[in-house]
Amino acid sequence: MDLILKSLVPLSVIITCGWIIGWRKIIDSKHSTHFATYVMNFSFPCLLLFKTATSNVDDLINYRFIIGFALGLLGMYILMFIINRYIYHRSISHSCQSSFMCSFPNMAFMGIPIFMVLFGEQSLIAIVIGNVITSLIMIPTTVSILEYAQESQVKTKISSIIIKVFTKPLVLAPIVGFIISALNFQLPTLAIDTLKMIGDTTSGVSLFTLGLLMSANKIQLNSYVISNIFFKNFIHPLMMWGIIIVLDISGVWAKEAILLCAMPSAITATMFAAKYDVLKAESSSSAVLGTIISLLSVAVVIHMLGVDVP
């Protein structure tokens, strides 16, 4: 219980502070994009570069985890598309957006601070793998389906998406760090200290940004929002748990995979709703309410996993 409180109470307080500050217009919520840019393009990449460059290369690769986690994310994506399309009888674009919301966990803004407390900096590798899977597979797939289903005026080539993905600091940083680790090259102490100092700001800023983003969204509750939250917060970690058992993934890797899938919908997924004008209110409501409910559901998952202090 002490560990659960240690990981979730500070998280809740910082998110609430961000929400109150955005709600009171002390900082306009529209500036949340600048904070998000800082985290995703600067502080988090610095943290990833520091961690991967100073880790043993053998600790950075776990093929069974990579396959299992990919199955967990993509399996939920496909399942929710089928449910929305053939059970709820929704359009292709609506089915795609809902499946994206239910399968894309908030690994960056919520995963980082929780994992840093529960598992230590080594756990960031799991978040890197998750971001690569979503960036290289789920995002291009979602863009393709949404643009196929709609007469979008902004046509995006898959090849250009792949190029953009590999030029993002979030993807480049761990790749460079992996190369440094593989070559057994030692970074200068000053470089390590600088990267770590910048990277250490990631958790606090990401949580504050999440609260700021939440303050800009109006909440709407309907059957589809409830369905999204139910499948993302509760069914997704159970699905990942089953995959862990089947693939015989054990230890910290197994706990990290299940806990990541227990995270609420990524705020990033709501940006697709806005860009393609599909289920905007439903997507933002699912992300906001799902995040609030996750403070309880994630605590339950942590307790069930029996996570110990690193």
Structural domain contains residue 250: yes
Q: Confirm whether 70 is domain-assigned.
A: yes
pLDDT above 80: residue 137:
yes
Question: DSSP letter string over 82-143?
Answer: HIIIIIS---HHHHHHHHHHHH-B-IIIIIHHHHHHHT-GGGHHHHHHHHHHIIIIIHHHHH
Does this model's pTM top 0.85? no
Domain limits for position 173: 2-22+30-305
Q: State residue 287's pLDDT score.
A: 86
Cβ 203 vs Cβ 108: under 8 Å: no
CA angle 108-113-116, nearest 5°? 115
Q: Produce one character per residue of 233-264: b if its CB has 16 or more CB atoms within 10 Å, e if not.
A: beebbebbbebbeebebeebbbbbbbbbbbbb
Residue 105: strand, helix, or coil: strand
Contact 171, 132 (CB under 8 A): yes
Task: Report yes or no on 310 lying in a domain.
Answer: no
What is the count of structural domains for the chain? 1
CATH code (residue 53):
1.20.1530.20
The per-type count for the chain, helices as H runs and strands as E runs, is 17, 0
Residue 33 pLDDT class (50, 70, 90 cuts): confident
- Given a cut of 80, is residue 18 above it in pLDDT? yes
* Amino acid of residue 62: N
What is the structure's pLDDT at 116? 82
In a domain, 278, yes or no: yes
Task: Please indicate, yes or no, if residue 73 is contained in any of the structural domains.
Answer: yes
% of the chain exceeding 70 in pLDDT:
90
Separation of alpha carbons 113 and 73, rounded Å:
21
Q: What is the pLDDT of residues 168-202, one digit of tens each?
A: 787 788 888 888 888 888 889 999 999 989 988 88
pLDDT at 291 over 90: no
The CA-CA-CA angle for residues 160, 162, 164, to 5°, reads 70
Query: How many other CB atoms are found less than 10 A from the CB of residue 156?
Result: 15
The pLDDT > 90 percentage for the chain reads 31
